[in-house]
A = this chain, B = another copy of it.
């Protein structure tokens, strides 16, 4: 045994199994710290925070070589007993006041462990260890007195060193400015917020509790934020909004052009995103019932153009080869330096990028999905206005980006909208009648179950009529239109179809998805020929990127596919494959995980070690420049049809209306070839 002193009591902490001898009289909390069994504590022994409850296990434990009895801890004081009684925990002790007096086997319940775990309740269950970059400690500071000259900050440093073993700290200037007043207001007892165990970013008088953080995925089109309680990992509020930069260009290249063509272009776009982030912070704080200024830490992710603009760096170098980043590494910046109205000492962490247009959002998706820790070859496709694609496993990882444009996010779509109540997110079209059923966000019922009209009782009427179509809705409706024979494989409206739901504007068809009665505006909601074309272009760009990576890896197929994207609602893998956003794969191996970049941002917010992992992965992944790849154009053209003309999709067998389509194709052999040529001119 390596225990250093056999006279001193032996203490074993469970379930971690940490063990060692400590001098008689050692506080259980201190023993745990010394032995590496971390117990939660903010108040540090002031009997205030009630976080450090532990249970002494009674008996002789032969396996551990220990006899543990309750009298091996010091007798509880009246105050401790009162407190435990109030907490309904008389079988427990408070580790900040109980002293070790003999051998003891001590159980640390889940809720008392310093680093809890958060289980993500999503499509994929995920466990996040809680290790936020900021934490609070309560500390009592020596009162200033005549003849003792350390200064208040010196006194606070000494107290933090003695009580919490914190050394070499700095203090943020605004905190120093109020330090004297807060120490006196708290009668020399204060709650200190530390960032990365090295900077004091807040000092509050007395005992205070509450640390909050904001994780944000800044997409080209959509900004999605998550306000979290950093003590529990709980998401207190979420909100998403349009990225106001869309005014200056719908996709990355047009934003970069805007920065290039206008001297104040960068400024305007920077201010726009900062304003949006301030609104997001305000709205989520309001929903969570806290003040915006209580948000003490933030993690931001986004593609490289988004993070450059966020930091006030001109993105023009990203507009052309060699696509040089100003900085690839993670950055920590004071929120106030960016004009963000969070806590005045708050830091913003921007995750690292990979290269070119594959930025912090993809790194975030990577740490969320961790394909680098699996044997199976995973294809991770993150669909947005700019799509990021990662292919690989624990041995190798390739990444690329594809400029899909904002169609998948409901932009460039006539009736497109954000995923908000009223957005159509699910669609089914009857192949016989060509009539659509749909479901909108905020409604349990499908549209055919709705009852509309003054004679129907209020409770039977839908709360939300259809207001538009969100990203997942547009994918479903176009796939369903194809399956129902409304669309031809080349994306044209079937000219032979004469149906009440199809309107014609010359040769360009429009499909009535929702009738005037079903819509909030009183006008029907349509899917137009342009909508279909935009989705075709987007899915072809995405697929071409995927194919280039597969070619690079010399792979014909992948083991599993993870489909991510801020569609708002989850995309149905079947429709994604019918449209051809992803290559052929066993549908059971395709998972839709929603906003993986947002999840990754949240993971980096809750666990600082994941930031280090992110930096490592960002440097490890091999970036493939698809934009200048000679095969890109060919793959792109081959992927315009529904389903792709370039590749077989055996896993769609039985799902596609093959006979009908084939017959039609064969029956129109020559005209189809002509149409193909037209399409190429149209889309290339």
Give me the interface of A with B, judged by CB distance under 8 Å.
144-154, 171, 173, 176-177, 179-181, 311-314, 316-317, 321-329, 333, 337, 353-356, 623, 625, 628
Q: B625, A152: Cβ atoms under 8 Å?
A: no
Q: A313, B151: Cβ atoms under 8 Å?
A: no
Query: Beyond A146-B628, A153-B327, A180-B313: 4 further Cβ-contacts under 8 Å?
Result: A151-B324, A154-B329, A180-B316, A180-B324
Q: B314, A181: Cβ atoms under 8 Å?
A: yes
Please report the C-alpha to C-alpha distance between residue A316 and residue B180 in the assembled complex, in whole angstroms.
9
Q: What are 14 A-B pairs with beta-carbon distances under 8 A?
A: A146-B628, A147-B322, A147-B625, A148-B322, A149-B325, A149-B354, A150-B328, A151-B328, A151-B329, A151-B353, A152-B324, A177-B311, A179-B326, A180-B313
Q: B148, A313: Cβ atoms under 8 Å?
A: no
Residues in B neighbouring A628, C-beta threshold 8 A = 146
> Which of B154, B316, B322, B623 touches A145 (beta carbons < 8 Å)?
B322
Residues in B neighbouring A147, C-beta threshold 8 A = 322, 625
Residues in B neighbouring A314, C-beta threshold 8 A = 177, 180-181
| Chain B residue at minimum C-beta to C-beta distance from A322 | B146
Q: How far is the CB of A133 from chain B (nearest CB, A)?
A: 17
Q: B625, A154: Cβ atoms under 8 Å?
A: no
Please report the C-alpha to C-alpha distance between residue A151 and residue B623 in the assembled complex, in whole angstroms.
13
Q: A311, B152: Cβ atoms under 8 Å?
A: no
| Chain B residue at minimum C-beta to C-beta distance from A318 | B180
Residues in B neighbouring A145, C-beta threshold 8 A = 322
Residues in B neighbouring A154, C-beta threshold 8 A = 327-329
Q: B625, A146: Cβ atoms under 8 Å?
A: yes
Q: How far is the CB of A338 from chain B (nearest CB, A)?
A: 9
Q: B176, A311: Cβ atoms under 8 Å?
A: yes
| Chain B residue at minimum C-beta to C-beta distance from A358 | B149
| Chain B residue at minimum C-beta to C-beta distance from A181 | B314
Q: A327-B153, A328-B151, A329-B154 are in contact. Are A321 and B180 (CB under 8 A)?
A: no
Residues in B neighbouring A324, C-beta threshold 8 A = 144, 151-152, 180
Q: A317, B180: Cβ atoms under 8 Å?
A: yes
Please report the C-alpha to C-alpha distance between residue A154 and residue B352 in the assembled complex, in whole angstroms.
12
Q: B151, A325: Cβ atoms under 8 Å?
A: yes
Please report the C-alpha to C-alpha distance between residue A317 and residue B177 in the assembled complex, in whole angstroms.
12
Q: A151-B326, A325-B152 are in contact. Are A311 and B146 (CB under 8 A)?
A: no
Please report the C-alpha to C-alpha distance between residue A16 and residue B506 in the assembled complex, in whole angstroms.
91
Q: A623-B149, A628-B146 are in contact. Are A176 and B327 (CB under 8 A)?
A: yes
Q: How far is the CB of A141 from chain B (nearest CB, A)?
A: 11
Residues in B neighbouring A337, C-beta threshold 8 A = 173
Residues in B neighbouring A325, C-beta threshold 8 A = 149, 151-152
Q: A311-B176, A312-B173 are in contact. Are A149 and B327 (CB under 8 A)?
A: no
Q: A173-B333, A317-B180, A337-B173 are in contact. Are A151 and B311 (CB under 8 A)?
A: no
Please report the C-alpha to C-alpha distance between residue A144 and residue B328 in the assembled complex, in whole angstroms.
13
Q: B322, A152: Cβ atoms under 8 Å?
A: no
| Chain B residue at minimum C-beta to C-beta distance from A323 | B146
Q: How far is the CB of A199 from chain B (nearest CB, A)?
A: 14
Please report the C-alpha to C-alpha distance between residue A66 and residue B173 in the assembled complex, in whole angstroms.
57
| Chain B residue at minimum C-beta to C-beta distance from A171 | B327
Q: A146-B321, A327-B153 are in contact. Are A313 and B623 (CB under 8 A)?
A: no
Complex A-B, nearest 9 residue pairs according to Cβ-Cβ distance, in ascending order: A151-B328, A149-B355, A144-B324, A151-B325, A146-B322, A153-B327, A144-B322, A151-B327, A145-B322
Residues in B neighbouring A148, C-beta threshold 8 A = 322
Please report the C-alpha to C-alpha distance between residue A327 and residue B147 in the assembled complex, in whole angstroms.
16
| Chain B residue at minimum C-beta to C-beta distance from A327 | B153
| Chain B residue at minimum C-beta to C-beta distance from A147 | B625
Please report the C-alpha to C-alpha distance between residue A173 and residue B338 in the assembled complex, in whole angstroms.
10
Q: How far is the CB of A118 from chain B (nearest CB, A)?
A: 32
| Chain B residue at minimum C-beta to C-beta distance from A355 | B149
Residues in B neighbouring A146, C-beta threshold 8 A = 321-323, 625, 628
Q: How far is the CB of A159 from chain B (nearest CB, A)?
A: 14
| Chain B residue at minimum C-beta to C-beta distance from A266 | B177
Please report the C-alpha to C-alpha distance between residue A324 and residue B180 in the assembled complex, in whole angstroms.
8
| Chain B residue at minimum C-beta to C-beta distance from A328 | B151
Q: How far is the CB of A340 from chain B (nearest CB, A)?
A: 13
Q: How far is the CB of A627 from chain B (nearest CB, A)?
A: 10
| Chain B residue at minimum C-beta to C-beta distance from A625 | B146
Please report the C-alpha to C-alpha distance between residue A298 and residue B12 in the assembled complex, in whole angstroms.
55
